[in-house]
Amino acid sequence: MEDTLQITINKTLQSRVQNLDYNNIQFAREYSDHMLVTDFKGGEWENPEIIPYGNLSLSPANPAIHYGQSIFEGLKAYKHANGKISIFRPKANYNRMNVSAKRMVMPHIPEEIFMDGLTELLRLDQKWVPDVDGTSLYIRPFLFATDEFIGVRPSQDYKFMIITTPVGAYYSKPVKVKVETHYTRAVKGGTGYAKTAGNYAASLYPAMLAQKDGYDQLIWTDGQNHELIEESGTMNIMFILNDALVTAPTGDTILDGITRDSVLTLAKDWGMKVEERPLSVKEMVEGLESGALKEAFGVGTAATIAHIEVIASDGIDYKLDESGRVFSQKMLKALTDIRLGLAEDKFGWNYYI
């Protein structure tokens, strides 16, 4: 199959791109003209098709709906001042998607389908990549079960798809977060390290409770004792504590974020002290009280860097001063400049289409 991959392209007759208001782009309100679709049937991948974006027809006995055999990825494409379009570290997303697939007993996605499919789709829909400050094209690859069977077992057939959507800022201002000590996002031996649908469904209720109390997101703690800091919402979380960059080590309860890796790589390159180690809520609160903890921020593709202005723990709101955001501001600018081709791409992160 490797050397016979053919992507069939069926173009839309009516592009919708002229309706896109580039100066007023919100998060994922409109979807680009085309989508990539490939079926895995009878143990084999069929050749991918690019077709006009639209609804799917599925069996009501689809196991992804009933039991959540479904995984996804999230990455972004940027338009440079010279008109070139680059995708940020897509092979890292490709690799991680197959890690998720393995955990959910889903078939390995061939690199050609993912990478060539992505490239062709973006070439076709390049007008959808916005170029206004702070905007990008969010790319959502996903894989889900398609058998018509409601028995609990791994599906035999699957569908792999990619859709894209122009996005602006995910959070328009710094976020308020609350340390969660009752609900759990991920447990040892569970699926926390996989980008699988059910993880996100399970996080909605505790996040909603925090929002009712005026917080934007949660800081997840370990499922056993709720003492160690894991992630924030759907982002990895980092701190500047005693002038070191501190973040939890990856493991089966923590998503191995590509933004996390990019931030750690650049920080090390700058000669900064980087500590990937367990950080307890207690140590964080002590740092907030003493002033040794100067910055806290979430890192992820959707928000890139989300500055945290309030952390609530045990009913106390700890404020983080805006003037302290030295590292996170510098990092945000460095990442943005690399992605837009304004700074040297030392690590070869930009993938040009």
Ligand X SMILES: *Cc1c(COP(=O)(O)O)cnc(C)c1O
Rule CB under 6 A: which residues touch ligand X? 74, 195, 231, 234-236, 255, 257-260, 300-301
Cβ atoms within 10 Å, residue 71: 30
| Cβ-based nearer residue to ligand X, 7 or 194 | 194
CA 77/CA 85 separation, integer angstroms: 7
| Cβ-based nearer residue to ligand X, 7 or 104 | 104
CB of 5 vs ligand X, minimal distance in Å = 26
CB of 93 vs ligand X, minimal distance in Å = 7
CA 117/CA 222 separation, integer angstroms: 38
CB of 304 vs ligand X, minimal distance in Å = 9
136-145 and 158-167 beta bridge pairing? antiparallel
CB of 235 vs ligand X, minimal distance in Å = 5
CA 149/CA 69 separation, integer angstroms: 13
Type of residue at 341: G
Q: Which residues of 125-134 are buried (b: 16+ CB within 10 A; e: fewer)?
A: bbebbbeeee
Type of residue at 16: R
* Residue 186, both tokens: 């991920």
| Cβ-based nearer residue to ligand X, 146 or 191 | 191
| Cβ-based nearer residue to ligand X, 38 or 301 | 301
CB of 74 vs ligand X, minimal distance in Å = 5
Distances 210 to 43, 236, 237, 315 between C-alpha atoms, Å: 44, 18, 17, 12
| Cβ-based nearer residue to ligand X, 80 or 140 | 140
| Cβ-based nearer residue to ligand X, 74 or 324 | 74
217-221 and 136-145 beta bridge pairing? unpaired
CB of 321 vs ligand X, minimal distance in Å = 26
